A and B are shown apart, each in its own frame.
Chain A
Amino acid sequence: MPTTSFASLDAQGVKVEARLEGGVLRLVMSGSLEARDPSALFDPYWSNVDQTLRRKGVKQVELDICGLDYMNSSGILTLVRWAMTAKTDPVYRIVIRHDRNLTWQKVNVPVLAKLAPAVVSMAIP
């Protein structure tokens, strides 16, 4: 059943804190995502975020991953799926705030922005 509010998450070594502030959904991720099958948990989570954003008419998400030390490729794929879903009917933007001192973030965030430029962009440091 779809929820009407933005849920936080704390599982598989990762926390996602969700807060709606001034019409912007702020999602702060921390921890390290190295689970064998993160899609089982994160695909439904991002899907619910997508649906709730649409239902509430929220136009911007700030995804802060500075505190996310590491993400395996299966974890990255869950973000890819969210970006691709958002891209099919672009009604909100995802702005990713990342830490350029973490190599995985410095390399992968620009790729996500290139994958879905209509909906994903990098926060200006």
Chain B
Amino acid sequence: MEEPGNDYVELRFGPRWTYISCVRKFLAGFFLIGLSDKEQAERISTAASELLENAVKYSSEENSYLRVAISRGRNEVHLLVENPADPEQINVLRREFALVTAAEPEAVYLKRMEEAARAGKQSRLGLIRIRYEAGARLRLEVREREVVIHAVFTLEEA
């Protein structure tokens, strides 16, 4: 990860669902200033929102927190969301990562939509949406009882 420049923001807050919308709108506005690109700012804020929704749904309950950090390098934007998680949830996440990175994003998105429509309430579309809609490269980092999901967005040359 490159050293952060001026286009850098980091937030840490309790895992309350109603904060997510507020954070999404803030990030979209913040990066609209730094990137001067509404579409890219929306892609990044959507990705952050989906990761935060997953983090609230699947993080462990006790002493929980969410940390979202976004920084802009010369050619890319780096987003990370960190939260505590149980070993069981970490394994679920590992399987999800394997599934959503197994093929081309559109093919996986369509397949996951069909599967999710047949399955229960949980959408499980968030990660593949980030790959497909936001065009981000995803990486999962597992620490002791903590997960960090990194999403990296390549910026087009001006």
Contacts and interface: CB of A to CB of B under 8 A. Distances in A.
A39 B43 CA distance: 24
Residues of A contacting B: mostly = helix
Contacts of B17: 36
B128 to A, nearest CB: 9
B129 interface: yes
A113 to B, nearest CB: 11
Interface of A: 32, 34, 36-37, 39-40, 70, 72-74, 76-77, 80-81, 84, 101-104, 107-108, 111, 114-115
A30 B116 CA distance: 25
B92 interface: no
Contacts of B122: 74
Interface residues of B, number: 30
Contacts of A34: 20-21, 24, 49
A73 B21 CA distance: 13
B53 interface: yes
A37 B121 contact: yes
Contacts of B121: 37, 39-40
25 contacts: A34-B49, A36-B56, A37-B121, A39-B121, A72-B49, A72-B50, A73-B125, A74-B125, A76-B125, A76-B129, A77-B116, A77-B125, A84-B114, A84-B117, A84-B118, A101-B38, A102-B42, A103-B39, A103-B42, A103-B43, A111-B109, A111-B110, A111-B132, A115-B113, A115-B114
Contacts of A108: 133
A73 B13 CA distance: 22
Interface string B69-97: 00000000000000000000000000000
A117 B154 CA distance: 32
